[in-house]
Amino acid sequence: MSDTPLFLTGVIEGFYGPPWTQTDRIELFRWMAGSGLNTYLYGPKDDLKHRALWREGYTPEEAAAMGELIRACRRHGLEFIYALGPGLDIRYTSASDLERLKARFEQMLQLGCRNFCLLFDDIPDRMDPADLERWDSLAAAQCAVTNELFQWTRERSPKARFFFCPTPYCGRMAERQLGGAGYLEIVGRKLIAEIDIFWTGPEIISREISVSHVTGLQIILRRRPIIWDNLHANDYDGRRCFCGPYAGRSRELRSAVNGLLINPNVEFPLNFVALHTFGAFLQGTGPWDPRMAYLMALTDWLHRYETVTQQLPLEDLIRFADCHYLPYEEGATAEELQTRLRQLILTDPADWGTAAAGVRADVIRLRDFCARLAELKHRPLFYAWSRRAWELREELDLLDRYLAFKSIPANHPLPFRSDFHLPKTYRGGMVARLQQLLQPQGDETLHPTIPSWDSSAFPPLT
């Protein structure tokens, strides 16, 4: 194996939710090749045989599909990594479980796979008593199994590259001592040096990943990590998706890691901007301008927004995508519209003047854009957007009705009602009610919502 292994750039299919289809993945490979990326990691959490049923091999039909996926990946000049997540119920001292892991990898070797990964993320932070008796820590047990699999794989595939995802895979988890005290230090000492380690940054979804953060981690892990970047992941909040640019990372980060891989939105068609701006970040030089890259990517994406009647305007696509930007921020035009709406609603309608008309025009235009997405010729793109576009459309429609009602002087003192946004049917459901109980604050604390009901109406606590 080369002394300077390939710097990995690419995509992880590693989210919770419906795995992508083979058609999605083939298009992904085209996007990746066109953006200069080189690696695809297969590890969808809800592929039953990736995680819940990791001991079971693929059926002949499943194996054939996996073999074709590996070949398609290679036809596009991409490295294929196969990930397995046994951590939910593995017995680290079990010879049977170790043989099951080898059997799974042997099946993939026969299908042409050469690179492998063991994932120990999102698992119970405890050990079976028998495992604890043999290994003094979770980290030591995981390293022992991983080292054994690595050496076994290398005997069969000398150029194989091997990867490991730790149980505490971000700074916050490490600070909370998830996996036990000194977990990362143990991994740094015990895991064979040629095995790469994944890391998501300071947080699971990191707003920023700095060079200094990674430099400190290098000392602990005794190697450069590979960034598993969840910036565009949306599996933790199905109401949202993220179509903003790759941001919050400087190009200098590339020199501090062994690779950068993104784990993006569950809905494959919504990943165009994430992928293409990520590619531009990796291929370019000089200071990184995320907004400029974003606008260029949206321009390239626009042709997919042809409707049965005409092409949707780029200006409208920008504002719509700005409403689905990044986890910690909206895009500039969406932020500006929200600010104007908030200012109006917090102002006495008698003082609105002509401002309401201008805001209403922008609200109506965005609302109508959401409706027109139903006419997209690219149906998978519409289906990916459908529920989110409808939800945004309903909120905009409600706001427009409110502004229209309050713009009439006679209605200034009157309460506003909408025949189309009734309690229970609008913003209803158990999740919405539960969300009203605790309100997150800017300092990361969560406070009980001040009740607006008569607590005497409830039975006493028992």
Instruction: Give me the CATH number covering residue 335.
Output: 1.20.58.240
Question: Residue 34 is encoded by which pair of tokens?
Answer: 């066109």
Domain-located, residue 461: no
Tokens of 118: 């063991």
Q: Is the predicted pLDDT of residue 218 greater than 70, yes or no?
A: yes
Which residues on neighbouring strands pair with residue 163, listed in sequence order?
117, 196
For residues 170 and 54, membership in a common domain is answered with: yes
Confidence tier at 1 by pLDDT (50, 70, 90):
very low
pLDDT range class, residue 439, cuts 50, 70, 90: confident
pLDDT band at residue 288 using 50, 70 and 90 as cut-offs: very high
How many other CB atoms are there within 10 angstroms of residue 22's CB atom? 13
Asked if residue 270 is part of any domain, the answer here is yes
Query: For residue 316, is it within any domain?
Result: yes
Of 371, 390, 411, the one marking the end of a domain is 411
Would the pLDDT of 49 be above 90?
Answer: yes
What span, in angstroms and rounded, lies between the C-alpha atoms of 106 and 35? 32
- CA 450/CA 462 separation, integer angstroms: 22
Does residue 321 sit in the same domain as residue 269? no
pLDDT higher than threshold 90 for residue 249: yes
pLDDT-wise least confident of 68-82, 289-303, 434-448: 434-448
Interval 137-193: pLDDT, tens: 999 999 999 999 999 999 999 999 999 999 999 999 999 999 999 999 999 999 999
pLDDT at residue 444, as a whole number? 85
- Phi and psi based region of residue 316 (left: phi greater than 0; alpha: psi -120 to 50; beta: remaining): alpha
Contact 41, 81 (CB under 8 A): yes
Is the separation of the CB atoms in 385 and 393 below 8 Å? no
Same domain, 240 and 389: no
Least confident of 85-99, 269-283, 375-389, 413-427: 413-427
What is the model's pLDDT at position 268?
98
| CATH code, domain with 21 | 3.20.20.80
Considering the domain architecture, whether residues 167 and 297 belong to the same structural domain is answered as yes
Query: Are 326 and 343 within one domain?
Result: yes
Q: Are residues 294 and 328 in the same domain?
A: no
Q: What would the two tokens of residue 413 be?
A: 């003192």
- By annotation, the residues acting in catalysis are 122
User: What's the average model confidence in pLDDT over 358-366?
Assistant: 97
pLDDT over 70, % of the chain: 96
Please check whether residues 361 and 281 belong to one and the same domain: no
pLDDT digits (tens, 9 = 90+) for 296-325: 999 999 999 999 999 999 999 999 999 999
Would you say residue 370 lies in a domain?
yes
**Residues 53 and 171 grouped into a single domain:** yes
Count of domains for the chain: 2
Last residue of a domain, one of 301, 327, 354: 301
Domain boundary among 411, 437, 453: 411
Are 209 and 320 part of one and the same domain? no
Neighbouring residues of 454: CB distance < 8 A, sequence distance ≥ 6? none
Residues 100-118 have a mean pLDDT of 98
Statement: residue 462 has pLDDT above 60: no
**CA geometry: angle at 107 spanning 81 and 159, to 5°?**
45
Token pair of 113 as six digits: 């796979």
Decide if pLDDT at 3 tops 60.
no
> Could you tell me which of 268, 301, 230, 243 has the C-alpha nearest to residue 29?
268
Domain that holds residue 117: 8-301
Same domain, 192 and 52: yes
Taken in order 290, 236, 450, 393, the sign of the CA dihedral is: positive
Type of residue at 301: W
97/244 same-domain check: yes
Least confident of 12-16, 275-279, 385-389, 424-428: 424-428
Confidence of residue 447 (pLDDT cuts 50, 70, 90): confident
- φ/ψ region of 330 (left if φ > 0, alpha if ψ in -120 to 50, else beta) reads beta
Q: From its phi and psi, is residue 353 left (phi > 0), alpha (psi between -120 and 50) or beta?
A: left
256 and 333 fall within a common domain:
no
**Is residue 2 very low, low, confident or very high in pLDDT (cuts 50, 70, 90)?**
very low
Distance of alpha carbon 194 from alpha carbon 197, whole angstroms = 10
Classify residue 439: in a domain, yes or no: no
SS3 breakdown of the chain: % helix, strand, coil, rounded to 5? 45, 10, 40
